[in-house]
Amino acid sequence: MTEAPGNSFEQRLAKERVSLQRDTTNTLQINTGLLCDLRCRHCHLSAGPGRKEVMSLKTMEQVIAYAKRNRFATIDITGGAPELIPHIEQLIASLAPLTQRLMLRTNLTALSQPGKDQLLNLFVAHRVVLIASFPSTNEGQLSAQRGGGVMEPSLKMLKRFNELGYGIEGSGLELDLVANPSGAFMPTGQEAAERKFKKDLARKWDLHFNNLFIFANMPLGRFADWLESSGNLDAYVEKLQAGFNASTLDGLMCRSLVSVAWDGSLYDCDFNQAANILLGGKPTHISELDGRPERGTAIAVGEHCFACTAGSGFT
């Protein structure tokens, strides 16, 4: 879905007499593809088993060449499940020396598959920051979002991370968790939720992590389909619009990030990938871009941007 100019988010920015422009682009986000072992209800990219859209070795090499040309402070590898993408080890090993902070998003279960020890060792060797999706400490809520049988391998992998030093004070290995509401409602306060997660995980399973981030679900992809089929779409979108908070604009990730899709095409963020809203409104391949997107250029937005600016925001 390509948003026409004048969508309601643009109109809201105009009404508030504010605009959304790039600051310095210091983060390169790499979406390695839509292949995943899970089919989560909240997935804005509708990733899942059998998806064929995965980054080729050639595109990886073009991404690495771009990262060499530009030296981003942070590189953020996401998916789908990046752990399942062929040549992911090569991508990690090549990018690690090029940045101060290499992050990888994991759904936990993909890493629990056999044959992933080499990848785990690579994370430790390069001090990769792991961002693990773990929507809830409640098994019923977790299963509702991610499918049955997900809790046990997720806990097993968190345990393994802790054994490797991830999430353990003084180890220098950072493990953060990401949670999101299980239905058509807004997230609770982050600090209180982090305290509760830390307490629950330590008490029930002796598990530890560094930070918890809680995000609103994007009305895109599979989550939009679920909202529609459950009759919640209009009410959810209205809730996001009503929660618009202009003070979130300065901290939005799209101001400092460029996002490259599995096929090398560029976007202002991963959500715009799902909405097919291209960087600068025109197709650009990573091999064609020399520098970073320029400071002061307008960010392409759509209706889904209300999910980033509702309440305390999505940064």
- Residues binding ligand SF4: number (CB under 6 A): 12
Candidates 23-31, 164-172, 175-183, 298-306; binding stretch for ligand SF4 (CB under 6 A) = 298-306
What is the number of other CB atoms lying within 10 angstroms of the CB of residue 242?
Answer: 10
Q: Which residue has the tokens 């025109």?
A: 282
253 binds ligand SF4 (CB under 6 A): yes
**Separation between Cα atoms, residue 215 and residue 187, nearest integer Å:** 6
Q: Which one of residues 44, 146, 292, 304 is an interface residue with ligand SF4 (CB under 6 A)? A: 304
The three-point CA angle 271-29-255 to 5° equals 70
Candidates 26-34, 92-100, 129-137, 251-259; binding stretch for ligand SF4 (CB under 6 A) = 251-259
Candidates 41-49, 60-68, 105-113, 248-256; binding stretch for ligand SF4 (CB under 6 A) = 248-256
What is the number of other CB atoms lying within 10 angstroms of the CB of residue 132?
Answer: 21
Confirm if 276 and 209 have CB atoms less than 8 A apart: no
Closest C-alpha among 81, 64, 8 to residue 264 = 64
Confirm if 46 and 222 have CB atoms less than 8 A apart: yes
List the beta bridge partners of residue 214.
179
**Choice between 254 and 286, CB closer to ligand SF4:** 254
305 binds ligand SF4 (CB under 6 A): yes
Closest C-alpha among 292, 244, 237, 243 to residue 268 = 292
Q: Which one of residues 3, 176, 194, 268 is an interface residue with ligand SF4 (CB under 6 A)? A: 268
DSSP H helix total and E strand total for the chain:
11, 8
Candidates 34-42, 88-96, 200-208, 247-255; binding stretch for ligand SF4 (CB under 6 A) = 247-255
Give alpha helix (H) positions in 147-188.
Answer: 151-164
Local structure of 97: helix, strand or coil:
helix
91 binds ligand SF4 (CB under 6 A): no
- The distance of Cα 121 from the centroid of its chain, to the nearest Å, equals 23
**Separation between Cα atoms, residue 144 and residue 142, nearest integer Å:** 5
120 binds ligand SF4 (CB under 6 A): no
258 binds ligand SF4 (CB under 6 A): no
158 binds ligand SF4 (CB under 6 A): no
45 binds ligand SF4 (CB under 6 A): no
151 binds ligand SF4 (CB under 6 A): no
Q: Which one of residues 81, 102, 227, 269 is an interface residue with ligand SF4 (CB under 6 A)? A: 269
26 binds ligand SF4 (CB under 6 A): no
Rounded (10°) angle between helices 151-164 and 117-125: 40
59 binds ligand SF4 (CB under 6 A): no
184 binds ligand SF4 (CB under 6 A): no
29 binds ligand SF4 (CB under 6 A): no
Distance of closest approach, residue 306 Cβ to ligand SF4, in angstroms: 8
Candidates 203-211, 237-245, 249-257, 285-293; binding stretch for ligand SF4 (CB under 6 A) = 249-257
Question: What one-letter code names the amino acid at 246?
Answer: A
Local structure of 87: helix, strand or coil:
coil
Distance of closest approach, residue 91 Cβ to ligand SF4, in angstroms: 23
Q: Which one of residues 133, 272, 273, 284 is an interface residue with ligand SF4 (CB under 6 A)? A: 272
Interface ranges with ligand SF4 (CB under 6 A):
252-254, 268-269, 271-272, 299, 301, 304-305, 308
